[in-house]
Structure 1
């Protein structure tokens, strides 16, 4: 199995060219979808805190095809990404403001089994800029819900409830324990980043998120970022709610997932040019 490539579509694309083509309801098992990964013609998702450590494979209609148990803990799985035969699941949520160490679990797709929980490799990290004072729940900048694979690193974008200024952390793939220092900040987005994907063909990131002060009326968005984390394009996702994750498949279709929330169902959404 190999990761999708750009052979089926051109690297030149813009969010403005994309429109929503399908909206699929997600079943109860994945109604708190928090991560999404595209691998060839396969889709994977995970739930966040309070759920079992299971990686779900879903089809293009949103149906659950399989649930692969992991030996890792699901304290707060909030993101996932993929490269080649590996799925990376990020336990990086910190709504409470009490969590100071985070984990990214690498699972080998070829070893994932329906019979027994999958093994994993773990990278643990802490933020070097984590404040010494106490943080208020859902009112601080040291939460995260997005993960992207870019070459020889994993990229985590902070979910900055307080400032809406995202900090970007680059995580070494193989170092078991590390300190993460922000490499830059992004201050011109209309809200917090909750999902991310890196497109190797165009050398750009696509991210999704929503406004930090909008509950229960959220204003979700999608944005295109350069390889240097500069905002290139913004797109409103009007009518949607708690958009949590995004990925780009091997045919160039964009997918995003929406978590079930007040007056909003859990959805899998497809966008095409």
Structure 2
């Protein structure tokens, strides 16, 4: 999570307008709707049975929201025995969903964890809690270093029942990739590093060989980075800017194929503050649709 005061008016995108001259020749991107006020800090996203499931990040209730593809809330749940220190990502395996309480802007957390929830229990207030704790094996200094360290993360995916965590590196603007087994406490050792030249905020896997990372650079320009997955390793294929400015893109999920056999994804952004002359205003979070040819 990171809140910026944007010194400009965010432009609502309804198509692939040429705002910041991104390469839109190979994909289609559009705004679907504003998110409801109760989902002002959407930070993770998955798709189950054609529905979008998201959550807010730090300072919010331990809740999941179910949306249809137009952004309307169709269900929600507040868990009785979970806490939301800084929920930053969500992923699903064959039998469970996995909520990553791994936000670490200050670099001082010693309680990073993954909540594992059996799928048939996700809409129950009282659930059996399975928690996996994680640590970074190379971190020895836990002094507060606000956005000046490499031990933050906001993105997880699961491939072949293995979880991969992508770091949000505030120093190098790269992402380190860590693999970890499900349902186990893990000391993280870097799997590999990808030079994203930006801060990674989420990831999605298309169930074949493609992983899309979303994030933004130091100017808050949102981007998509395409990785190829093979034999446990990731290769950066390309990185493109999204045709919007000032939006804090925080989540992405793979939806499926369209009639043209193209990959369809949904993304969300957080609400942000903008400066309009001498005044300030709050711009709502938004839901987007991305069509990405394989």
Q: Secondary structure at the match of 1:110?
A: helix
Contact 1:21 1:272 in 2 (8 A): no
Unaligned runs of 5+ residues in structure 1 are: 1-14
Partner of 1:232: 237
Partner of 1:64: 73
Q: Counterparts of 1:1-273 in structure 2 under 5 Å?
A: 17-70=26-79, 71-113=81-123, 116-132=125-141, 134-175=143-184, 177-187=185-195, 189-201=196-208, 203-211=209-217, 213-214=218-219, 218-227=220-229, 228-240=233-245, 241-251=247-257, 252-263=263-274, 264-272=283-291
Aligned length: 251
Contact 2:93 2:161 in 1 (8 A): no
Q: 1:134 Cα shift?
A: 2.9
Q: What's the TM-score once normalised by structure 2's chain length?
A: 0.80
Unaligned runs of 5+ residues in structure 2 are: 1-23, 258-262, 275-282
Q: 1:259 Cα shift?
A: 0.5
Measure the CA separation in 2 of the matches of 1:21 and 1:182: 35
Measure the CA separation in 2 of the matches of 1:194 and 1:45: 14
- Go from structure 1 to structure 2 and tell me whether the alpha carbon gap of 1:121 and 1:169 turns closer, same or farther (over 3 Å shift): same
Q: 1:181 Cα shift?
A: 0.5
Q: Secondary structure at the match of 2:244?
A: coil
Contact 2:179 2:191 in 1 (8 A): yes
RMSD across aligned C-alpha pairs, in angstroms? 1.8
Q: What's the TM-score once normalised by structure 1's chain length?
A: 0.86
Q: 1:102 Cα shift?
A: 1.1
Contact 1:97 1:134 in 2 (8 A): yes
Contact 2:57 2:84 in 1 (8 A): yes
- Go from structure 1 to structure 2 and tell me whether the alpha carbon gap of 1:220 and 1:180 turns closer, same or farther (over 3 Å shift): same
Measure the CA separation in 2 of the matches of 1:40 and 1:224: 25
Contact 2:37 2:284 in 1 (8 A): no
Measure the CA separation in 2 of the matches of 1:45 and 1:133: 30
Q: 1:105 Cα shift?
A: 0.9
The superposition leaves residues 161-203 of structure 1 with CA deviations (integer Å, 9 ceiling, x where unpaired) of 111121111111022x22111111112x1301100012222x2
Measure the CA separation in 1 of the matches of 2:30 and 2:285: 17
Contact 2:29 2:242 in 1 (8 A): no
Contact 1:85 1:108 in 2 (8 A): yes
Measure the CA separation in 2 of the matches of 1:244 and 1:16: 23
